[in-house]
Amino acid sequence: MQSHHSTTSSLARPLRLGTRASPLAMAQARLTAQALCSAHQWDESQIEIIPVTASGDKVLDRPLADMGGKALWTKELDHWLHDGTIDIAVHSMKDVETIRPESLIIGAMLPRADVRDTLVGAASLAELPQGARLGTSSPRRAAQVKRLRPDVETVLFRGNVARRLQRLADMEADATLLATAGLMRLGQQEIGIAVPVDVMLPAPAQGAIGIETLTSNAAVRALIATIDDANTSDCVRMERAVLAGLGGTCHSPIAALATIQANNTVELRAEILSPDGAEYHRIDRVLHRRDERAAHELGLELLSLASPTLRALFTP
């Protein structure tokens, strides 16, 4: 019987896919594997998923920014790509540092899921009781909530989705905010209410899955390019260009969302906030699609509006 795996002739062994070991990261790795198998008509045995426990998953009692920031989610996978343990790494794009090593390239992004945040524990932010406690580890979510509800107290919630939901069940807070996309990928989207983007603008790259490989590995780059969703890639790259313009870190409350419009344009909305939500600057602009330089300049422009105190959060 003739094999229909002719496209795997270039694969002498299974493609090794590296991922964090958390349930959500594993779900995203499986989505990536399915997309590749579908695109190349591979059998699922052609991809081997190799999980790593990332540094960021080991220490849960401190804010990420105090421990080295976003690199905690990527550094082990970066080492594995460089030493050949894995061929590709799958990331939540929201967790990938803005500046990456030139030796690595995000070669594809899967179609983006729902970009919104989901509120668990109340029907809306407006309906949170006076003085409620909201669990989050995100400076952006904390600042946005405080801007809308200065009476609400934020409590540090870190860990995977299950851990955060357990802390909510243990009454450590009255409500929490989680990425809708993550809940959907875990099959748990029914547990809360999605917050409209005009109430809370999401984090840059929220809901997007990126696939990274060695810049020098042309064969693997060609394999993963087949599953790239151009709309997602173009929007996320513009959001990340805003981040680069701002020089933002894990300490910095930043939100940005690009959406494809007619005539090869993108609507780019971005905002920065002080941690207490009292200072707030936002720019909404229609730009040419793929004009990352204009997006970068929008980040610089936002920074120019900020008070010295707020600007200090962004400049190294």
3-state secondary structure (DSSP) of residue 37: helix
Active site residue 43: no
Burial 201-226 (b: 16+ CB within 10 A, else e): bbbbbbbbbbbbbbeebeebbebbee
Residue matched to tokens 């804010």: 63
Catalytic residue among 57, 78, 87, 95: 95
Beta-carbon contacts of residue 169 (< 8 Å; ≥ 6 apart): none
Pair 286, 298: CB distance under 8 Å:
no
Residue type (1 letter), 196: P
What count of other Cβ atoms lies within 10 Å of the Cβ of residue 77? 24
CA 174 to chain centre: 25
* Tokens at 262, concatenated: 């007619």
- Closest C-alpha among 195, 206, 99 to residue 149: 195
3-state secondary structure (DSSP) of residue 82: helix
Handedness of CA 166, 167, 170, 175 (dihedral sign): negative
The H-assigned helical ranges of the chain are 23-40, 55-58, 71-83, 139-148, 161-169, 180-185, 218-225, 230-246, 292-305, 308-311
Residues classed as catalytic: 95
